[in-house]
């Protein structure tokens, strides 16, 4: 039985703080990952949003291409891809399509279908894809997606350590992601969980 897995990219497949070093250099800061306690980067850097946007405009390609893959994400994704349908659902904009594909190729990640929404709102896409499990790192997304009735695995980061609601499971690495998905599959097979 194939599950439909919606998987976010930034902070979920990638290391969550991969933009930090370049941002520190550019803005003359010395922030550490533990300082990133909110998702909005300009707030972390204490600069106006427009300044961050300018930086992102200049370096987005390099930043995304240099992004590191989280430990075990590659082998977990390869394995998950052989048993499930993988859909990458990202807030990145369409213009990042080729860079994103290049990065997937460079890191030997399975070529799932790619949805670049250009927005943080992912609920409609999850519905359209008949999502069974959504893997995400942004707290607000997790709440929204879970409130719409989807199971969410929230990849732990300094900026999402807030209270969770039913339907969201906090995970700390890709071994846990893999195991949670397998557990879910077994529950469906046993009939403990009913899916449409």
Q: Which residues bind Mg ion (CB under 5 A)?
A: 8, 10-11, 137
Pick 15 or 180: Cβ nearer Mg ion: 15
CA distance 67 to 47: 23
Least Å from the CB of residue 140 to Mg ion:
11
Find tokens 């969770």 and name the residue: 164
The H or E element that residue 133 is part of is strand 133-136
Residue 124 CB neighbour total at 10 angstroms? 11
Q: Is 156 a catalytic residue?
A: no
Q: Minimum distance from CB of 86 to Mg ion (Å)?
A: 16
- Of 125 and 185, CB closest to Mg ion: 125
DSSP letter for each residue of 99-131:
HHHHHHHHTT----EEEE-SSS--HHHHHHTT-
Q: Rounded to the nearest whole angstrom, what is the least distance from the CB of residue 116 to Mg ion in the complex?
A: 13
Task: Considering the complex, state which of residue 23 and residue 185 has its C-beta at the smaller distance from Mg ion.
Answer: 23
- 14 or 84: whose CB is closer to Mg ion? 14
In the residue annotation, 8 being an active-site residue is answered as yes
Provide the minimum distance between the beta carbon of 87 and Mg ion in the complex, in angstroms, as a whole number.
14
Beta bridge partners of 114: 88
Sheet containing 85-90, strands listed edge to edge, beginning at the edge strand earlier in sequence: 113-116, 85-90, 4-7, 133-136, 151-155, 168-171
Give the active site residues.
Answer: 8, 10
């Amino acid at each position: 039985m194939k599950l439909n897995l919606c998987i976010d990219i930034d902070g979920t497949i990638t290391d969550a703080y991969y933009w930090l070093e370049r941002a520190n250099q550019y803005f003359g800061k010395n922030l550490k990952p533990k300082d990133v306690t909110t998702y909005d980067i300009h707030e972390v850097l204490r600069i106006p949003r427009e300044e961050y946007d300018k930086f992102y405009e200049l370096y987005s390609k390099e930043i995304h291409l240099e992004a590191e893959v989280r430990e075990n994400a590659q082998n977990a994704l390869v394995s998950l891809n052989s048993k499930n349908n993988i859909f990458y659902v990202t807030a990145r904009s369409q213009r990042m399509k080729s860079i994103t594909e290049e990065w997937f190729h460079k890191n030997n990640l399975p070529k799932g279908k790619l949805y670049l929404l250009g927005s943080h709102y992912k609920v409609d896409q999850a519905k359209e894809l008949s999502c069974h499990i959504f893997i995400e790192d942004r707290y607000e997304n997790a709440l929204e997606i879970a409130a719409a009735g989807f199971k969410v695995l929230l990849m732990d980061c300094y900026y999402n350590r807030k209270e969770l609601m039913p339907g969201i499971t906090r995970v700390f690495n890709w071994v846990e992601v893999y195991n949670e998905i397998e557990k879910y599959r077994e529950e469906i097979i046993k009939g403990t969980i009913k899916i449409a």
